[in-house]
Structure 1
């Protein structure tokens, strides 16, 4: 076996020999500490990793504990046939599997057939989703990523091969009902199979643990480190009605400030453009006669502006001619489909946005419609077909899988090159997107599914926004608001509502300005929740710093932190926020719910009650409380609420201490540039011991954003 000394942890080390396998050579190489790659056959030109420009954070990866696979890596079998490629990965009988991107209809994937394909209306549990990845994680402490943009099917312990070694006795018995015959309740042992039709070779990335959280750290750090959004992005975003004019946008801005309701970002919907389906990317003078004046006036009030768009280019757009020969051979809504797989095409698209919008002060974009039309229905035909061809050579199937990924990359790079941070909205993504500050959203509106997507997002290096629109009841509005406050982005999307949804939950009455009799009380209740979100910003910002520097997802399933606790294996409606907060959202249907708390002691945030872990409790949370529990030993830094975050915002911090001894931390920088990459930041270590609290600041950042005002001990 050839060994090469790793210098600066960058060099690729050949770890294994080439061996004949189904007529193909198999090579195993180490790409970074704890990340190995199996290569067999002729690799496609376009793969998810081929589009990842961020370098692996190898120094941080080297600090992780060394992992060890529960099997020999050479036992991962790769077979190339006239159909394509089949990959077999060993699977233990008691192994649990998670991931495949931002899954909506399932959580624990063991025993399922998964086909992670981008789709605009995720449904059921097959795997269609806004954020598909061919990446799964085992509770045994490893992850497998099939590096392909082709439609791939995974059989997660569901198939059993006809082998000479089969145990004949195993097949005896069983029922005769139709339900029993088709349920396939017997999990097959031995392997996960990945079927990649059309491929002539494959790369299999193997991420070693030793535990689940280490796997996810390695994946995120290998992708360049987790996203570090602008600090204002962790506040509140509100999208106005699609047909609002410039004066109406000003009116809604005045409403927020006059009523002291926190809000950082106002989003403009389709009518800001002269044509939206397809897009012109030109301000509509009938609706926005002075856009620069609007941007500047919003800035004076502390608002950022975010523009809705999609990537299909209308013939009336200034981008049409430059992109005509750099787009696919099919149109969408009469517009071009830019070939984002071609760097020059992406640069043309980005350069126009930079000059026209970013340099004028637009803080971000909502990148819509970059997922495929609903492939589970025959009448859903709006997007480009799978047999499309693009000048770069990528085909329609592959382009669908990475279209949203490349779209957000194109927009994000504008801000990165300008040394300005942003926080984007996007409706599709894929693997190795961890470094992009883009939050996924969906037109589906099932609250239970929205909660599950918060939980699943951590398995894929993606962020999820369970946005709030209209609601069926006040309870529905408030429960959805609680979940939004406890997510990566607190977003109210009023694109078809004239007034905020808390003033009138019914669409028709809302748009007739017929507000609810108790609208001011509901407004006050929502304000209280949004103020808590603003209080939580320092804690969330520190969690995102851990995401960037250590690869720890800021939102993740309980099983990630407690992989040996069988009671967490199927908990899909609770999740960790940062290191110390456990969230257990409720829905409209629930006045109370059961909450499982893993080992250790926990505190009810609302009551201060101390609860023993490894137990299940029934909790009741009012509409203005938050269903969260704090781990013992935590210092939770809560800020005095502000109405918006600016470059010079100073946070007054109350340190809530849970237990007799506790620790915490804060990440401090300018919040709006990438200067942290040059060392322009501070870390503040919080400690409480012997009834005394201390805060120690270290770093090169000169401005003090956080001021510790008080300590509150909860025992």
Structure 2
């Protein structure tokens, strides 16, 4: 929201009250409170009829500074007045209060407030300036209509770029944009977003989290081009400045505050196939797809039933449409006997024709209007109401419907919608509807996720969720929503995923081939490569089926190629997923996250790192042309073995069976012995592929079991012409030196050459190898 009229003036109807000079400072335990006047006080009489700004600074955990600003502190805020944070207390801090300034340091991150006028607030990490605010920046904005706001303007340095703010499909770098944190069902082609998160990071290595679940308006280098402004309605503002040695540390701090991503079960990383949205399907149709995949040697892990598993006009009643599924329990048993997991579509809306509507209305389980009647409209479903998840009884009622489906054989739920939440409603617990609009999805997904954890066990819950807000990363997986079947939409989907990853979300997917319309065979095959090199992979669409043989025969072979590639990479991918869950990092990483010192990486949004070692550059055109950038270092193409020196852009042409897929130097990629399913013993027969180990360098990798615990660890180091390799046990592993044509000898094992390089196998019982190059 804009309050300025150019540089000098304020917009008509507003009065901007900024801190001018410090009147008093109070130190209390682990926090400081600063009282600032809005003008210079020439004499004691000026203290009359004069507002102050109250500024509180503290720290909930190391390297995180909490800033709270107030005009009238006693103004009540209804729930949810903030996000549900995991650390609300005070961490140890160091406070310096002298004649010139007062400062608070948490870990290596410091906030300093000058006492001389004008007031300047500066945030640093290890003495390095991150950002701050000064004259006419921090402000309480008093409006003539009584709708007051609080705003902050944090400095942006020359060359500083801003990222995140949720899953945004606009330009990856947010500078110059106006971003409203307000969940909308707007597809992937506009400034609207399903997943709005009031958290951003910059290439200067810090993050800012605005702890307000309601509408937060960001003017990112737009109202004032050297500032990132954010504002909220009301009399107070709270935000957190998160410092660290790297953006990875910043994301770790943010997710320690708002919740780490849960580790999805290993089976979720396999290929998902759906009925698609409005297509006709019954058990015979479903089996034709599943059997067709098996006959063509296309490994399938999950089958998803979209909306029409229930009767039209009755979404949601959680009952199978008996006209097309007369024996749903038996059908699910037959499908699961084929080794499949089952997912079904749901949403938090109850249509009037659903038998559950009357039940929900009578028991107070649906959102109400101020007059006590049920809130309804016809958008999406005729006469639908919305489940009130602030009512514990409604949560149990909704959850019981899901428990019955899990008992029947369902393994996962696609939690669709949750964005179109009205603000002219009354909640059971008295929550403020403006503050609940974005927060509603958090309650919705939490209820569903906890049902799955309860029924299937810890570590076995997985959603396929569309809407989210801050903290939603705790309930993976999320997908990008309704994209079009175009290369442009494929690219905007990737931008959204990278943006979400820099907003604390670890796992993300998208509709391979696009949701709206039907892809051309060319687009489908290019999107397959992108989709199978994403954290999660799903074939889904709107009006047509997405099985590959309906596109062309080559599409079958392309899908087989990349599905089996992903499954063989599961020892690497699941290991990276474990790290994402533990550290709060995305599996699909914007390039600047891995290469923070490379300024070219700041703007890259058509390629990404899949984990910490694999670079993926999808192809976005019919000609198969790829323009991508390799950062400094030696790189090796994972599929072809081609070596390339980084620090430059490359232009190449690929057929449908390839794309730029490079491994950075000093990496170990564990490759599994299985490529027909995602769940297997990743240590059995694993081959550790070692890429361009430089002299004096080392690399290590951990293979998890299916619960995410470390099972097999391996490391390699090079000194001169000798590579030392060690594993934590001797169970059937091998080493592949990629791109090496021969070695002089091996101590502790045997070797042979292959197309990929030199294969070294340890002697029986050996855990160490010494390889002479």
Q: What CA deviation, in whole Å up to 9, does each residue of 1:491-541 have, x standing for no partner?
A: 10155334x442123xxxxxxxxxxxxx43331222111111111222111
Q: Distance in 2 between matches of 1:201 and 1:155?
A: 18
Indicate the residue corresponding to 1:137 in structure 2: 201
CA distance in 2, matches of 1:48, 1:130: 21
Question: Which residue of 415, 420, 425 maps to 1:367?
Answer: 415
Larger radius of gyration: 2
What is the CA distance between 1:644 and its match in structure 2? 2.5
Contact 2:441 2:467 in 1 (8 A): yes
Q: TM-score w.r.t. structure 1 length?
A: 0.82
Counterparts of residues 171-190 of structure 1 (less than 5 Å): 188-189=225-226
In the alignment, does 2:112 pair up with 1:87? no
TM-score, normalisation: structure 2:
0.76
The farther-off stretch of 112-121 and 47-56 is: 47-56
Unaligned runs of 5+ in 2: 1-24, 38-50, 93-105, 110-124, 369-374, 741-773
Distance 1:20 1:70 in 2: 23
Q: Residues 92 and 520 (structure 1 numbering): CA distance in 2 closer, same or farther, change over 3 Å? A: closer
1:548 to 572, 581, 587: 581
Determine helix, strand or coil for the equivalent of 1:26: strand
2:738 equivalent in structure 1: 713
CA contact (8 A) 1:35 1:218 kept: yes
SS class of match (1:133): strand
Correspondence for 2:32: 16
Change (3 A) 1:648 1:560: closer
SS for the counterpart of 1:428 is coil
Residue 528 (structure 2) aligned to one of 481, 485, 491: 481
Give the Cα separation in 1 of the matches to 2:283 and 2:82: 42
Q: Bigger shift: 219-228 or 43-52? A: 43-52
Q: Of 539, 544, 558, which residue of structure 1 is paired with 2:591?
A: 558
In 2 relative to 1, CA 304–53 (structure 1 residues): closer, same or farther, beyond 3 Å? Answer: farther
Of the candidates 397, 407, 427, which is equivalent to residue 444 of structure 2? Answer: 407
- Indicate which of 473, 478, 481 corresponds to 1:439: 478
Kept in 2: contact 1:43–1:200 (CA 8 A) = no
| Superposition map of 1:493-512 within 5 A | 493-494=540-541, 496-498=543-545, 500-505=546-551
Match of residue 30, structure 1, among 59, 71, 92: 59
Q: Once the 2 structures are TM-superposed, how far is the Cα of residue 483 of structure 1 from its aligned partner?
A: 0.9
Q: Is the 8 A contact 1:101 1:456 kept in 2?
A: yes
Question: Pairwise mapping of residues 580-659 of structure 1 onto structure 2 (< 5 A)?
Answer: 580-646=613-679, 652-659=685-692
Provide the C-alpha distance between the structure 2 equivalents of 1:524 and 1:284, rounded to a whole number of angstroms.
35
Q: Give the superposition deviation at 1:138.
A: 1.5
* Residue of 714, 717, 725 corresponding to 1:685: 714
Per mean C-alpha deviation after superposition, the further-off stretch among 467-476 and 557-566 is 467-476
Pairing 1:352–2:401 present: yes
After superposition, where does 1:222-621 map in structure 2 within 5 Å? Answer: 222-241=257-276, 242-275=279-312, 278-315=315-352, 316-318=354-356, 321-322=359-360, 324-329=363-368, 330-332=375-377, 333=381, 334-354=383-403, 356-372=404-420, 385-418=422-455, 419-420=457-458, 421-445=460-484, 446-462=489-505, 463-469=507-513, 471-494=518-541, 496-498=543-545, 500-505=546-551, 519-621=552-654
Rounded Cα–Cα distance in structure 1 between residues aligned with 2:556 and 2:170: 33
Alpha-carbon offset, residue 572 of structure 1? 1.1
Aligned residues of 1:48 and 1:402 also touching (Cα < 8 A): no
Aligned counterparts of 2:273 and 2:211: Cα–Cα separation in 1: 37
When the two structures are aligned, how many residues end up with a matched partner? 634
Deviations 1:340-381 (A, max 9, x none): 244443333223312x11233311111122223xxxxxxxxx
| Contact 1:320–1:336 under 8 Å retained in 2 | no
Greater RCO (Cα-Cα under 8 Å, separation 6 or more): 1
Contact 2:261/2:580, CA 8 A, preserved across alignment? yes
Secondary structure of the residue that 2:249 maps to in structure 1? helix
Equivalent residues of 2:627, 2:649 under 8 A apart? yes
1:521–1:110 Cα change, 3 Å: closer
| Cα 1:362–1:133 shift into 2, 3 Å | same
3-state SS, counterpart of residue 478 of structure 2: strand
- Structure 1 unmatched runs, 5+: 5-12, 161-187, 373-383, 506-518, 698-703
Which structure dedicates a bigger proportion of its chain to strand? Answer: 2
Question: Residue 176 of structure 2: SS of its match in structure 1?
Answer: coil
User: Is the Cα contact below 8 Å between 2:165 and 2:499 reproduced in 1?
Assistant: no
Please list every run of at least 4 consecutive aligned residues from structure 1 whose deviation after the TM superposition is greater than 6 angstroms. 1-4, 53-56, 63-66, 647-650
Tell me the distance in 1 between the aligned counterparts of 2:473 and 2:511: 21
Displacement after TM superposition at 1:51 (Å): 3.8
Cα distance, 1:2 vs structure 2: 8.7
Deviation, 1:651, is 5.3
Tell me, yes or no, if the aligned pair for 1:104 and 1:122 is still in contact at 8 Å. Answer: no
Relative to structure 1, the CA distance from residue 250 to residue 71 in structure 2 (aligned partners, 3 Å threshold; closer, same or farther) is: closer
1:319·1:352 contact (CA, 8 Å) conserved in 2?
no
* Two-structure CA RMSD over aligned residues (Å): 3.1
Q: Offset at 1:28?
A: 1.4
1:152 aligned partner: 216
Note closer, same or farther for the CA distance 1:707–1:325 as it changes in structure 2 (3 Å cut).
farther
3-state SS of the aligned residue for 1:85?
Answer: strand
Distance 1:2 1:707 in 2: 65
Q: CA deviation at 1:108?
A: 0.8
Could you tell which deviates more after superposition, 387-396 or 278-287? Answer: 387-396
CA displacement 1:39-61 (0-9 Å, x = unmatched): 233574445853457999x99xx
Q: Which residue is equivalent to 2:726?
A: 694
Shift of 1:647: 6.9
Deviation by residue 1:147-170 (Cα, 9 ceiling, x = unmatched): 12222221122234xxxxxxxxxx
What is the DSSP-based 3-state SS (H/G/I as helix, E as strand, rest coil) of the residue aligned with 1:426?
coil
Tell me, in whole angstroms, the C-alpha distance in 1 between the residues paired with 2:182 and 2:222: 19
2:228 is the counterpart of 1:192 = yes
Return closer, same or farther for 1:642/1:43 CA change in 2, 3 Å cut-off: farther
